[in-house]
Structure 1
Amino acid sequence: MAQVKVFGLKESLNSIKGRFSEIIHSCVVEAFIFPLDKKFHRFFPMDKEDFYYAPGRTEAYTIIEISIFEGRSLDSKKQLIRLLFERIQSELSISPEDIEITILETPKSNWGIRGLPGDELQLNYNVNV
């Protein structure tokens, strides 16, 4: 499982949400050998008065939070981060200085999905990649 939250200024984020979602999903699919049909993204376009960030960032500054079941290797998580930086820059022209990524890992038992604790689900993909 992977749940993705994307935060940014609404003036910058709203017009690219669809393409941004496609890019994020392609990276997750590649790095985690993730099923194509498992896409769970939420966008949080924010007003300027609600989104503070450090000097040196532009109005394209974006935060990506990815919640996943624990089990992915260090290499697959680093690959995901590298792919995101690379594709977001090449396809959306957003500098890596304007992107921050956090991967939050939790045990499957801490998830509730389709009426079951996550560790009781029958998954059609491998988490240990």
Structure 2
Amino acid sequence: MDVEDFQYPPDRSAAYTIVEISMFEGRSMETKKDLIQQLYKQIHEKLLLPVHDLEITIFETPRAHWGIRGLPGDELELNYSVEV
């Protein structure tokens, strides 16, 4: 399948991109909004992708719904701090 075969909304260009982020739940609304704003800024500056061609979605799930290093996420001890 060629790039020309992909469909995108009529008000977007062929550069239309969706970024999906999966993360543990618990971060503040302010933190998530800041992440989205920083992603728009950095992606636009570094990749020259127009902001109208970018959509960002955050999916939050409980740590117990993750499997990491052979353990459920809520049983995993991280060797770093996660500030939410």
TM-score, with structure 1 as normaliser: 0.59
State the structure with more CA Rg: 2
Unaligned runs of 5+ in 2: none
User: Which is worse superposed, 105-114 or 46-55?
Assistant: 46-55
**Which of these residues, 76, 86, 96, is aligned with residue 51 of structure 2?**
96
- Whether the 8 Å CA contact 2:8–2:14 is kept in 1: the answer is no
Tell me the matched-pair count: 84
**Aligned-CA RMSD value:** 1.8
Unaligned runs of 5+ in 1: 1-45
**Which of these residues, 50, 62, 84, is aligned with residue 107 of structure 1?**
62
Query: Greater share of helix residues, 1 or 2?
Result: 1
TM-score, with structure 2 as normaliser: 0.88
- Whether the 8 Å CA contact 1:71–1:128 is kept in 2: the answer is no
One-letter identity of the residue aligned with 2:38: L
Q: Tell me what 1:80 maps to.
A: 35
Question: What is the deviation of 1:90?
Answer: 1.2
- Whether the 8 Å CA contact 1:69–1:106 is kept in 2: the answer is yes
Runs of 4+ that moved beyond 4 A: none
Between the aligned residues of both structures, percent identity stands at: 61
